[in-house]
């Protein structure tokens, strides 16, 4: 239900004149990796929402923090309670505009999405490089980018600093279909 509400809010923010075509999903995949010599920590979510407005290039993603799952339950508990404080900051989101793409193109295109990444209560301007590929039914979007924990006031206690990377690698993939 939260996903539908978020998508409705996003649509309200886009310029919808001229019969703009929109594509969306509630099943985008987002994973992240904290890689250190001591330990690799990986988590995944299949519950991210995304919307693309072809007329404006507007693009938005949202992921519930509690939807990330880890190989070990204790990692998931620490992630939600100690680092992301998911009760206080229940979601992460990106809202921006896709630059350098041809909405009528058929081939995979290298693009840059410029916007704001909001996570852990801190909004940071970001440029994310990725790809967009037109399919017969919509768009496939993919990106890999790095997020420094300090950018979003995520504190890593000294006692576990060798186990958790200061910069987290994030990967997202989504297939967006017409709304």
Distance, CA of 65 to CA of 49 (rounded, Å):
12
pLDDT for the residue 160: 87
What long-range pairs does 71-80 form, CB within 8 A, spacing at least 24?
A: 71/42, 75/41, 75/43, 76/43, 79/43
pTM, to two decimals: 0.85
Task: Give the pLDDT confidence of 116-170 residue by residue, as tens digits.
Answer: 999 999 999 999 999 999 999 999 999 999 999 999 999 988 888 899 999 999 9
Q: In sequence order, which residues have a C-beta less than 8 Å from that of residue 168 and are 6 or more positions away?
A: 32, 33, 34, 146, 147, 148, 149
How many angstroms separate the most distant Cα atoms in the chain? 56
Higher pLDDT, 123 or 9: 123
For range 55-67, the mean pLDDT:
97
Helix (H) or strand (E) holding 123: strand 122-134
CA 138 from centroid of its chain's CA atoms: 19
Nearest alpha-carbon partner for 94 in 54, 125, 131, 133: 125
pLDDT for the residue 158: 86
Question: In CATH, which of 3.30.470.10, 2.40.128.110, 3.50.50.60, 2.60.40.10 is domain 29-178?
Answer: 2.40.128.110
SS3 121: coil
Distance, CA of 46 to CA of 58 (rounded, Å):
22
Nearest alpha-carbon partner for 21 in 112, 134, 129, 115: 134
Task: Give the pLDDT confidence of 15-37 residue by residue, as tens digits.
Answer: 433 445 999 999 999 999 999 99
């Amino acid at each position: 239900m939260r996903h539908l509400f978020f998508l409705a809010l996003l649509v309200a923010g886009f310029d919808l004149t001229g019969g703009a075509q929109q594509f969306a999903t509630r099943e985008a995949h987002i994973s992240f990796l904290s890689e250190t010599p001591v330990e690799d920590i990986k988590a995944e979510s299949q519950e991210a929402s995304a919307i693309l407005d072809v007329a404006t290039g507007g693009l938005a993603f949202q992921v519930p923090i509690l939807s990330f799952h880890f190989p070990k339950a204790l990692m998931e508990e620490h992630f939600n309670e100690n680092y992301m404080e998911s009760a206080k900051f229940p979601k992460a989101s990106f809202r921006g505009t896709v630059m350098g793409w041809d909405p009528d193109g058929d081939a995979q295109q290298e693009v840059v999405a410029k916007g704001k990444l909001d996570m852990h209560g801190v909004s940071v301007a970001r440029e994310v490089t990725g790809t967009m590929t037109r399919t017969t039914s919509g768009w496939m979007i993919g990106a890999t980018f790095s997020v420094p924990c300090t950018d979003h006031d995520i504190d890593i206690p000294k006692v576990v600093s060798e186990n958790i990377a200061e910069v987290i690698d994030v990967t997202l993939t989504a297939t967006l279909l017409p709304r």
